[in-house]
Chain A
Amino acid sequence: MKYLLNVKNLNSEFVREIQAESKTRILHCYQCGKCSAGCPIANEMEYKPNQIIRMIQLGMEESVLKANTMWLCASCITCTVRCPREIDIAEIMDVLRRYAFKRGIFPAAVADIPVFNRIFLRNIKLFGRLYELGLIGFFNLLTGNPFKDVLLGPKMFFKGKINLIPERIKNASEIKDIFKRSAEIEHSD
């Protein structure tokens, strides 16, 4: 991999934006790798968390956003609490996901994760509360995997763990408004 480093990408908007949004000092990282050492999912990641931080420092926007790293982050926050430089790596991962979401960038290999997130949120927008059967069903359909976990379904149903019809809250329209206004505020930023 060859990366042309120049003043432009070193001072890119990308570094500054991620740093400002996450309110954490990305340039303070000295690459000890403790975040990657303790990450439960790092093994599956294309770039380890410390590498992503380095790539942000270098302004490698495209490579960072194309990587599966942030989408595989489980938000367990182990990295953040053990960072000796007090860098909030978990928050950086969140910021990157939101940054990508705003721009509609989803790496194909992990596209199912943002799909899941979208269905989940649509679910809440509709009912105010999560409708698990709808979530899982829709997700499996959309990801072309309609029979995934199909054996768990009946087991859970008979144990009274799955609602066939969604719970709804009374003022569902209020929730729709919250979604609308949140999106407006998000976009005006």
Chain B
Amino acid sequence: MKIGVFVCHCGTNISAVIDVQKVVNDLAKMPGVFAMDYKFMCSDPGQNMIISEIKQKKLDAVIVAACSPCLHELTFRNTLIRGGLNPYMLEIANIREQDSWVHTDRDKATEKAVRLAKMAVAKAKRNQPLFPQEVSVEKSCLVIGGGIAGIQAAIDISSAGYQTVIVEKEPSIGGKMAMFDKTFPTLDCSACILTPKMVQASQSKKVKIYTYSEVEEIGGYVGNFNARIRVKARSVNMEKCTGCGICWQKCPVKVNSEFEQNLGPRKAVYVPFAQAVPNVPVIDCVNCTYYRSKRQNPESKGLCRICEKFCPAGAIEFDQKDKIIEEKFGAVIVATGFSAFDHKVYGEYGAGRYKDVVTALQFERLLNSSGPTQGKILRPSDSKEARTIVFVQCVGSRDESKGVPYCSRVCCMYTAKQALLLKEHIPDANAYVFYIDIRAAGKNYEEFIERVQDEYGVLYLRGRVSKIYRTGDGALLVRGADTLSGTQVEISADMVVLATGLVSNPETVKLGQMIGIPYDKNRFFTESHPKLAPAETQTAGVFICGACQFPKDIPDSVAQAGAAASKVLGLFSQEHLMLEPVLACVNQKICNGCFHCRAVCPYNAIDEEILKDKSVVARVIESKCHGCGNCISACPVSAVDLKGYTNEQILEQLQSLR
């Protein structure tokens, strides 16, 4: 076997510390090894040199001693192809990041470079040509989550002509943005800019929307995912229903509306808000009189049934069952959004015991003209107009003790907006904002804050609030500080708005494990590179956007949704995909069928196979395997190996160090 070693100077990045000539000389002394050096191996002349040496010297394998394989492994694999070699006959010895950049002693660094290169030679001797497998691409995208991020991604993909399916767990798409009153810093009416997008998505022939639905299982791999979707029974026939609204007008059962953040009522048969898409109600089985009576006495005809009686379309179907839909997708976008931080852990703020201590989302609903108070700012305890309101920022955010360590990014802005809107609603109202730092890093954000302070006269106090309690007269006493003046501050307020932070959705963990997206310590999905791959995940074909990755505002969510969509479109523009051949394989002669490998495989890539002698052994489903190597370390009898990184190859490398 003839092996060529090409040592790169990388300008002086490598040669300043490593005696490149000595590396070449030492390697050339090895039997069957040819070695040479060049100033920039990755340059065109450098690559052409490798190609001509492959051809002239009839090389079987190539070692490039240069920078990290993260940077140029692909470059040199292509060089090998151009030289007529299998690309997996390449080995990289990283003598820059792992040597010249981290060492100063020239002799020792040179010695290390020699050893690294020799190890690569040892491994290359055992290299086998590997061939990527070709798979087809199902040109349909699954979007999980129908908030603004999911809607935007679906619109972008469908506009390019590809089929898209949105799965939303609530009865309507729209997400959190549908609850907001206005958006910062332009004060656009949130619904006015969101609903056209909702309608656009729902009317597109290329977009299918499953609301009141959840993804139960996802299998497969890039280009070929299989999803099982549970469409929950709405008890209303979606084809027949005209959305006339008679059912919910007639329904006698009133419960707190989730959409109104428990500040207003809804019926047991309901659409969450007026512009809901689809405009088809669901029956809340927990509170509906009919279902309750049926649970108590399954034999009975069931009580109430008023909606059924009045529905002119005959759309009420009490016996509807959940529907399971199985579909194939080429790509998945996860846009499951966030939850608001639950402030019950703040005993010092009343732990939810004071009605007039509301969350920012509740205040959005109070501000909203289609909200429970028709846009009047009435405090929940006695419906009196609130004229003095204290806004408390960083509730849950930046609190290692009771909340989350990170900054939720949007609270400074939405608090400023809410204080401004309060002043717009009631010009002589008093608005106080307790803050730690004002974070207004966005286009026109800082200017917006200035306007709120200067033009609207909202008073900003720099300090956290220590305690909120109700005094005898029903007012709330807010005990805070202004650290800039070094004083304690007490404000008697009609209402307190807590700027609760953004936290991950409770389903994140389950979903992440199911689809193969890692999550961080705060349970937000982890992108595959924090700078350079913000919408990708470590699982090929799975993308993320919106606040499920980290708290973000609407423009950032929309931008990331566009990014995710463009990645999907890039994928769909290919007829076939080539899958990396660095995969696990089982030596079925050694395998004892213990299946430890299956237990540790994060991709469900291990299957059972029954041999002729009836013994059950493991088999790798190549299309699912990512080559992570978990199974290899778990196998007690060394029956599993990673192609391109076999145990034998690794041991040879170590041997060469002796």
Contacts and interface: CB of A to CB of B under 8 A. Distances in A.
B423 interface: no
Interface string A64-89: 00000000000000100011111000
Interface in A1-42: 30-39, 42
A171 interface: no
Contacts of B486: 36, 47-48, 51
Nearest to A78: B466
B462 A38 contact: no
A1 B481 CA distance: 22
A34 B488 CA distance: 10
Interface stretch (B169-177, B222-230, B396-404): B396-404
A86 B465 CA distance: 16
Given A51-B486, A84-B401, A85-B400, A33 B462 contact: yes
A30 B436 contact: yes
A57 interface: no
Nearest to B487: A48
B463 interface: yes
Interface string B477-518: 001111100111100000000000000000000000000000
B466 A84 contact: no
B: contact size bracket = 20 to 34
Interface in B432-474: 436, 462-467
Contacts of B481: 33-34, 36-37, 42, 48, 50
A56 to B, nearest CB: 15
Nearest to A48: B486
A188 interface: no
Contacts of A47: 486
B401 A36 contact: no
Interface string B365-388: 000000000000000000000000
A37 B398 contact: no
B400 A34 contact: no
Interface centre among B399, B401, B464, B487 (most CB of A within 10 A): B464
Interface string A42-53: 110001101100
Contacts of B400: 84-86
B402 A34 contact: no
Nearest to B490: A37
A37 B401 contact: no
Nearest to B403: A84
B463 A32 contact: yes
Nearest to B480: A37
Contacts of B466: 34-35, 37-38, 78, 82
Interface centre among B403, B482, B487 (most CB of A within 10 A): B487
Contacts of A84: 394, 398-403, 464
A84 B436 CA distance: 12
B398 A34 contact: no
Contacts of A83: 401
Contacts of A82: 348, 401, 466
A78 B488 CA distance: 15
A47 B480 CA distance: 16
A27 B486 CA distance: 20
B401 A33 contact: no
Interface centre among B479, B481, B486 (most CB of A within 10 A): B481
A32 B480 contact: no
A84 B403 CA distance: 8
Nearest to B466: A38
B488 A37 contact: yes
A34 B403 contact: no
Interface string A97-137: 00000000000000000000000000000000000000000
A39 B402 CA distance: 19
A43 B486 CA distance: 10
Given A83-B401, A84-B401, A84-B402, A32 B464 contact: yes
Nearest to A28: B400
Contacts of A85: 400-401
Nearest to A54: B483
A37 B481 CA distance: 4
B341 to A, nearest CB: 13
A37 B436 contact: no
A45 to B, nearest CB: 10
B479 A34 contact: no
A38 B483 contact: no
Contacts of B463: 32-34, 36-37
Contacts of A42: 481, 488
A78 B348 CA distance: 10
A47 B270 CA distance: 57
Contacts of A36: 463, 481, 483, 486, 488
Contact of A50 (B348, B403, B483, B489): B483
A59 B228 CA distance: 62
B394 to A, nearest CB: 8
A50 B479 CA distance: 15
A86 B483 contact: no
Interface centre among B401, B465, B489 (most CB of A within 10 A): B401
6 contacts: A33-B462, A37-B480, A38-B348, A47-B486, A82-B348, A84-B400
Given A31-B436, A36-B483, 7 more contacts: A32-B463, A36-B481, A38-B479, A48-B486, A50-B481, A86-B400, A86-B401
Interface of A: 30-39, 42-43, 47-48, 50-51, 78, 82-86
In the A-B complex, the 5 residue pairs with the smallest Cβ-Cβ separation, listed nearest first, are A38-B466, A33-B463, A37-B466, A37-B481, A34-B464
Interface of B: 348, 394, 398-403, 436, 462-467, 479-483, 486-489
